[in-house]
Amino acid sequence: MKQFTVPIIYRSPLIAAIKNKRKGLDKLKKDFSATLLDFGSIQIYLARHFGFCYGVENAIEIAFRTIEENVGKRIFLLSEMIHNPQVNADLLKKGVQFLQDTNGNQVIPFETLSKDDIVIIPAFGTTLAIEKKLTEIGISSHTYNTTCPFVEKVWNRSEQIAKNKYTVVLHGKPSHEETRATFSHTSAHTATIIVKNMEDAIALSKYITGDKNGDSFSAEFADKCSYNFDITKDLDRIGVVNQTTMLASDTQKISDFLKAVMLKKYSLDDSNIEERFADTRDTLCYATLDNQSAVYGLLDIEADLAIVVGGYNSSNTAHLVELCEAKLPTYFINDEEKIISKKSICHYYNKTEITTTDFLPKKNTLKILMTSGASCPDALIEGVINKLISFFDTSTTIEELIKNLKK
């Protein structure tokens, strides 16, 4: 796989040593067991996979290279390139301006742009309507495009099944940049409808089976379906794709559920199911799947708490938090500064930051599980580790760990 050059400020000697060691021992990525960092009085278990994915590293490399190569030019990002506050703040410090916020609201009018300006497309991609606006101004949407290749893979697969007259059912959050972009691209080729969760899938199934008619459809799926969506014909053949940062297990459950609905309605079996239901399993993002599988491996360990590091508006990170919260106390933070002291932590919970006291149990050996989202720099993870071990009398140092990992 291609290697990218990311700024040194995002790198970590410790995390690099850990990842290189694990990669050498597990080249096929079949081992999802955690890595133990044993400091004696505190033991930190790191997930097998975490941090920057292929798409994020690609986006960061393109963005920083664009800045270096275009001194003096106005450079804009369509919106947050990735959902990480540190990376986006660094880009702003370098003079990059955001045209929109993460919800698609305009911050800087397109009318103020000229053909000499540079616009970077974020890793989530963008809509065909915005591509058209940029083209009309004279700005190419392809020259500085950081759209994740795995997002584009979903678009391409959707276009393929559209040619075979399938409607696309998109598992995603309607307001998320990636979902808006994917919806735009898929609906240009075929009828498309968004389901956020299993509840939406169950609601949709009632229109597939005919248990509900069109009278209530617009109320239930307003702004979630393509123009002129017709339940009398657009639900006859379907295929499920996803926003790549959703829980892969949730996408699979939704897909399996809707497949069972089609099997029953049309009296089909696995030998002829493709008459009504497209096989789209190949659209799942490898990084999302690996990070989630690694958390399942992490949760096999009996521990006192979990810490998940990442941007608060990062969908893939939020799902890692969700998995951890189901088993043990979990603290979602975006950097080490949120760990205020040995007794207090400021963390994201129920869509707001709260402060929890006495979050570290008083034990002879404290066990902490740790992971991060796909847009989180490794340097932040090392920062959190350093902050935690600073509260304890430890039996080893970060430098000693790095030395041992390189043996």
Q: What is the residue-wise DSSP string for 114-136?
A: -TTSEEEBPTT---HHHHHHHHH
Q: What is the pLDDT of residues 298-348, one digit of tens each?
A: 999 999 999 999 999 999 999 999 999 999 999 999 999 999 999 999 999
Q: Give per-residue burial for 61-95: e unless 16+ CB within 10 Å, then b.
A: bbbbebbeeeeeeebbbbbbbbbbbbbbebbeeee
Q: What are phi and psi of 370, to 5 degrees?
A: -145, 140
Q: Are 306 and 369 in contact (CB under 8 A)?
A: yes
Q: Which CATH architecture has domain 150-284?
A: 3-Layer(aba) Sandwich (3.40)
CATH topology of domain 8-53+287-405: Cobalt-precorrin-4 Transmethylase; domain 1 (3.40.1010)
* Confidence (pLDDT) at 310: 96
Sign (positive or negative) of CA dihedral 83, 49, 256, 211: negative
Nearest-angstrom CA–CA distance, 301 and 355:
26
- Our answer to whether residue 178 is catalytic in this structure is yes
Q: Are 385 and 44 in contact (CB under 8 A)?
A: yes
- 10-residue mean pLDDT profile of the chain (407 residues): values are 85 96 92 96 97 93 95 94 92 96 93 96 95 96 94 95 96 95 97 98 96 90 94 96 91 96 94 93 82 96 98 94 97 97 97 97 96 96 97 94 90
Q: Are 123 and 55 in contact (CB under 8 A)?
A: yes
Q: Computed over its alpha carbons, how large is the radius of gyration of the chain?
A: 23
Where along the chain do the CATH 3.40.1010.20 domains lie?
8-53+287-405, 150-284
CATH topology of domain 54-137: Rossmann fold (3.40.50)
Query: Could you tell me which residues are beta bridge partners of residue 356?
Result: 345
Nearest-angstrom CA–CA distance, 346 and 274:
50
Burial of 27 (0-12, 13-18, 19+ CB in 10 A): exposed
| DSSP structure class, residue 230 | -
Q: Are 321 and 295 in contact (CB under 8 A)?
A: no
Q: Give the closest residue to 360 by CA, choosing from 317, 306, 323, 311.
A: 306
Q: Which residues contact 335 (CB under 8 A, 6 or more apart)?
A: 86, 309, 380, 383, 384
| DSSP structure class, residue 60 | H
Nearest-angstrom CA–CA distance, 247 and 264:
26
Q: Are strands 75-77 and 97-98 parallel, antiparallel or unpaired?
A: parallel
* Confidence (pLDDT) at 287: 86
* Confidence (pLDDT) at 1: 63
Q: Are 151 and 128 in contact (CB under 8 A)?
A: no
SS3 for 237?
coil
Query: Could you tell me which residues are beta bridge partners of residue 118?
Result: 75
Copy the structure tokens of residue 302: 């009996």
Q: Give the closest residue to 391 by CA, choosing from 347, 354, 356, 345.
A: 345
* Confidence (pLDDT) at 363: 92
Nearest-angstrom CA–CA distance, 47 and 370:
6
* Confidence (pLDDT) at 215: 85
Active-site choice (57, 80, 177, 178): 178
